[in-house]
Structure 1
Amino acid sequence: MTPWTQSSSSNLAVAYEKVGDLARAIPLHEVTLVNYQRVLGPDHPDTLASRSNLADAYESAGDLGRAIPLYKQTLAERERVLGADHPDTLTSRNNVAHAYQSAGDLGRAIPLHEATLAGRERVLGADHLSTLTSRNNLAAAYQAAGDLSRAISLTEQALTDCVRVLGPDHPRTLTSRNNLAAAYRTAGDLGRAIPLYEATLADCERVLSTDHPLTKTVRSNLAALEKRTT
């Protein structure tokens, strides 16, 4: 199998995963990884990317028992091959943190999120899209751990940065606004949560459509909050 064929196989597996067809995606990712290791070697960047893609598919399927070790292996190999500050290494660190958070292991997730954010700020800059994502990820981890003071402060900062860098109508900005409303809600500050949900819902409907997944999420969050207050 040529590298070009392997690349096509990888792209097809990713496409299956994006549409939720994990029954086809996972076996194809597994075969692609085996072929990359055989043809290009275990340390080639394409092999490392293939290993990360397989871990991501396992996580999407809820199989954290296979996803986490594979994410950790990919992180260790990228640190060795590419260096600790390479953007792909930072992505791997973020992936491990996210997987730990999904498993409820916030004691391991939070330090990794913090390290990823610090690394992306240093290497990519404070306004890079990946840095903005890391800021939101860390805020969400703080919120999950019940550290609402830091969660709200960081989510407010993340929203301010998204508005400045991406504009008020960008989907990431709208997502950040939903996240901030959720943080206010968790803290019991309904006086700020409800108006922010309402404004975010109106903007999502205007910018994304009434049937967009984010619009539906914000609408559901607002409905659940309004039901609690009636």
Structure 2
Amino acid sequence: MGGTNPKPTVPKSTVSAATSRTTTSDAMQSRRRTVQNYLVIWVDGFRNLLQKKKEIPDTEINELKRKYHQKSPVWWYTCEMFLYGMLSWGLRSLDMEAMFKLGFFIRSLHLQLKQLHQKQSAKFKKSFAVYRGQGMNEEDFQNLLDSKGGLLSFNNFLST
């Protein structure tokens, strides 16, 4: 035994870290492929509903299918495309079919907003108010005025 060369070793922590990164990377790639596959199925299945509710150009639908993972959910929600309008419409009308079919996007958007909140909340020591405007026709506004002192129910804060 005295004349044998010791085998070169790699610290276990290095192997564990590399394995962990590979596993995480593999898991992320797998999730990405799953979401991409679901997105293609969702867009194809949802196309009729989308086009019934609002004229949506095929170019927007195809761009979403091709480029969804190149941008963040917040980016897609705020860009000039149909997702914001469809989500707002689904929330306003309480259309469960639309909400169910938008579920994958709502979940992705929620996860990103949660992540951004965790990252940025420590930077702001003092609370601040955020306001959102809502257009309304005269009849709805009059109904709102007439219900003064009564109960008021609303659900549009979900999209703020």
Question: Normalised by the size of structure 2, how large is the TM-score?
Answer: 0.30
Question: Normalised by the size of structure 1, how large is the TM-score?
Answer: 0.23
Structure number with higher helix proportion? 1
When Rg is computed on C-alpha atoms for both structures, the one with the higher figure is 2
Higher relative contact order (CA 8 A, sep 6+): 2
